[in-house]
Amino acid sequence: MKIFARITLCALCSLFVAACAGDDDTDGPGGAGPSVVSTTPVGNATNVSRDVEVVVTFNRALDPASLKASTFYLDPDVSGAWSWDGPSLQASFRPSENLQARTIYTVTLTPGIKDAKGRAMAKEHSFKFTTGEGTDTPGGLTSARTWDGETATVSVRKNDDDDLRAYVLKTTASLRDNDPSSKQVSFEEQAGQMVLRSGNHLFDALFAMSIEEIRQNSVSSISDGAFNHGNGVDCNCFETGAKWNYVWTRDTAYAVDLGLAFADPTRSKNSLDFKLSERKGGGDLQVVQDTGTGGSYPVSTDRVVWAIGAWEVMKFLDGAERTAFRDRTFDALVNTIEQDRRMVFDAADGLYRGEQSFLDWREQSYPSWTAQDTVHIAMSKTLSTNVGHFAILQVAAALAEEKGDAAKAARYAGWAGELSGALKAQMWLANVGMYSAMKTTELDQAALHKYDLLGLSLAVLQGMTSEADARSIVSKYPHSVVGPPVLWPQQPLIPVYHNRGIWPFVTAYALLAAREVGNDAVFDHDLESLARGAALNLSNMENFEFLTLANWFEDGAYSGPVVNSRRQLWSVAGYTGAIVKGVFGLEATQQGVRFRPFVTRTLRNDWLAESEELTLVDLPYRGKRITVTIALPAAQEGATGGVFAVGSVKLNGAEVGDAFLSVAQLAEQNTLEITLVVGTTSAEAINIVEDDGDFRRFWAPREPNMHAVSEEGGRLRLSFDANEEEGVVFHVYRNGQHVAGPIGETSWSDAASADFASNTYCYALESEFTSAGNRSHHSAPRCFWGAESARVQEVTAFGFRQLGGGTWSTSHGRPHYENWGDADDGLEISHFQPAWTGRHYIQLVYGNGAGPISTGITAAVKQVSVRRASDGQEVANDSLVLPQLVDWERWGESTLMPVELDANELYRVTISDGVNMSYFAHFIPYTGGSGGGESSFNRANISAVRFLPMQGTARERQSGGLVALDGDGDLGKFDASQRLTPGAPYQEWDGFALDWDADYLYLALVSEAFEDNYKPWMIYIEATRESFDQPASALGMEYSGQTASLPFLANYAIATRQLSDDTAGPFNGIWRRDGAWTQQQRLVPGRQYFLASDNHTMSLRIPRAALGSPTHIRLAAHVVNAVLDNEWKDVVPTTHSPWQAGVEGFYEIELGARIGVDAWSVK
My answer on whether 923 and 1012 are in the same domain is: no
Amino acid at 39: T
* Identity of the residue numbered 158: K
Among 497, 286, 487, 293, smallest CA distance to 384 is for: 487
Q: Is 1098 within a domain? A: yes
Residues 617, 593: one domain? no
- Predicted local distance difference test score (pLDDT) of residue 44: 84
User: Could you tell me if 77 and 158 lie in one domain?
Assistant: yes
Are the C-beta atoms of residues 595 and 672 closer than 8 Å to each other? yes
C-alpha–C-alpha distance, residues 380 and 378, integer Å? 6
Same domain, yes or no: 254 and 352 = yes
Amino acid letter at 31?
Answer: G
719 shares a domain with 572? no
Q: How many of the other CB atoms lie within 10 Å of CB of 759?
A: 17
Residues 595 and 623 in one domain: no
Residue 621: what residue type? Answer: Y
Q: How far is CA 589 from the centre of its chain?
A: 30
In eight-state DSSP terms, residue 662 is P
Of 697, 717, 720, 700, whose CA–CA distance to 709 is shortest? 717
Of 738, 754, 784, which marks where a domain is finished? 784
* Nearest one of 364, 354, 409 to 387, comparing CA atoms: 354
1072 sits in which H/E element: strand 1069-1074
Cα dihedral sign, 846-850-854-860? negative
Number of domains observed in the structure of the chain:
6
Residues in the chain, how many?
1163
Say if residue 454 is exposed, middle or buried (CB neighbours under 10 Å; 0-12, 13-18, 19+): buried
How confident is the model at residue 9, as a pLDDT? 32
ω into 485 cis (within 30 of 0): no
Euclidean distance between CA atoms 259 and 272, whole angstroms: 14
From 193, 214, 235, give the residue that closes a domain. 214
User: Largest alpha-carbon pair distance within the chain?
Assistant: 122
d(CA 324, CA 214): 25
For residue 6, is it within any domain?
no
307 close to 315: Cβ distance less than 8 angstroms: no
For residue 23, the model assigns a pLDDT of 33
Look at residue 791 in the predicted model and tell me its pLDDT.
Answer: 93
Structural domain includes residue 415: yes
Q: Are 490 and 699 in contact (CB under 8 A)?
A: yes
What's at 307, amino acid-wise? A
* Count of Cβ atoms closer than 10 Å to residue 1144 Cβ: 14
pLDDT at residue 310, as a whole number: 98
CB 277 within 8 A of CB 288: yes
Q: Quick one: which of 312, 331, 599, 590 has its CA closest to 458? A: 312
Could you give the CA distance from residue 443 to residue 734 in angstroms, rounded to a whole number? 9
- Inter-residue contact 830 to 801 (CB < 8 Å): yes
Whether the Cβ atoms of residue 725 and residue 695 lie closer than 8 Å to each other = no
Same domain, 53 and 143: yes
Distance of alpha carbon 1076 from its chain centroid, rounded?
Answer: 44
- Cite the DSSP H helix spans in 248-318: 249-255, 261-263, 265-273, 306-314
Q: Write out the H or E segment, with its range, that includes residue 213.
A: helix 201-216
b/e 338-366 (16+ beta carbons within 10 angstroms → b): ebbeebbbbeeebbbbbbbbbbbbbbbbb
Task: Select from 530, 506, 516 the least CA-distant residue to 475.
Answer: 516
Nearest-5° angle of CA 1063, CA 1120, CA 1158?
130
Which residues fall within 8 angstroms of residue 872, CB to CB, at 6 or more apart?
none
**Cβ neighbours of residue 654 closer than 8 Å, sequence gap 6 or more:** none
Same domain, 940 and 976: no
**Quick one: pLDDT at residue 161?**
60
- Does residue 574 sit in the same domain as residue 674? no
Task: Measure the CA–CA gap between 695 and 943, rounded to whole angstroms.
Answer: 46
- Do 1009 and 1106 lie in a common domain? yes
Name the DSSP letter for residue 139.
T
Give the CATH number of the domain where residue 771 resides: 2.60.40.10
Distance CA 291, CA 271 (A): 16
Helix count (H) and strand count (E) of the chain? 15, 71
Helix (H) or strand (E) holding 458: helix 453-461
* CATH code, domain with 138: 2.60.40.3710
Q: Are strands 54-58 and 90-95 parallel, antiparallel or unpaired?
A: antiparallel
How would you write 1074-1120 as a 3-class SS string? ECEEEEEEECCECCCEEECCCCCEEEEEEEHHHHCCCCEEEEEEEEE
Contact in structure between 1147 and 1161 (CB atoms under 8 Å): yes
> Is the domain of 313 the same as that of 413?
yes
> How far is CA 905 from each of CA 131, 827, 842, 944, rounded to the nearest angstrom?
90, 20, 16, 21
Q: What is the DSSP letter of 88?
A: T
Distance CA 959, CA 319 (A): 74
CB atoms within 10 A of CB 95: 17
Count of C-beta atoms within a 10 Å radius of residue 1024:
16
Q: Say how far apart CA 1026 and CA 865 lie, in whole Å.
A: 27
Give how far the C-alpha of residue 865 lies from the chain's centroid of Cα atoms, to the nearest Å. 24
Give residue 201's Cα distance to chain centre: 42
Mention every residue, 6+ apart, whose C-beta is less than 8 A from residue 958: 997, 998, 999, 1000
Could you tell me if 443 and 369 are in contact, meaning their C-beta atoms sit under 8 angstroms apart?
Answer: no
Residue 10 lies in a domain: no
Question: Does 819 fall in a domain?
Answer: yes
d(CA 891, CA 883): 11
The last residue of a domain, from among 191, 214, 237: 214
- Rounded distance between C-alpha atoms, residue 151 and residue 536, angstroms: 7
> What is the extent of the structural domain holding 184?
36-214
Segment (H or E) for 454: helix 453-461
Contact yes or no for 100/131 (Cβ under 8 A): yes
Q: Is residue 961 part of a domain?
A: no
- Indicate whether 583 and 668 sit together in one domain: no
Q: Is residue 692 part of a domain?
A: no
Q: What is the rounded CA–CA span in Å between residue 273 and residue 283?
A: 16
Torsion angle in degrees (nearest 10) through CA of 1037, 1039, 1044, 1046: -20
CATH number at residue 809: 2.60.120.260
Residue pair 1036/1050 in contact (Cβ under 8 Å)? The answer is yes
What DSSP assignment string belongs to 904-941? TS-EEEEEEE---GGGBGGGTTB-SSTT-SSS-----E
CATH number of residue 545's parent domain? 1.50.10.10
Amino acid at 113: I
Q: What angle do CA 608, 612, 613 make, to 5 degrees?
A: 80
Give domain status of residue 1058, yes or no: yes
What pTM did the predictor assign?
0.89
- The list of the chain residues with pLDDT below 70 reads 1-31, 133-140, 159-162, 1062-1064
pLDDT of residue 48: 83
Q: How far is CA 922 from the centre of its chain?
A: 17
- Tell me whether strands 54-58 and 36-40 are parallel, antiparallel or unpaired: antiparallel
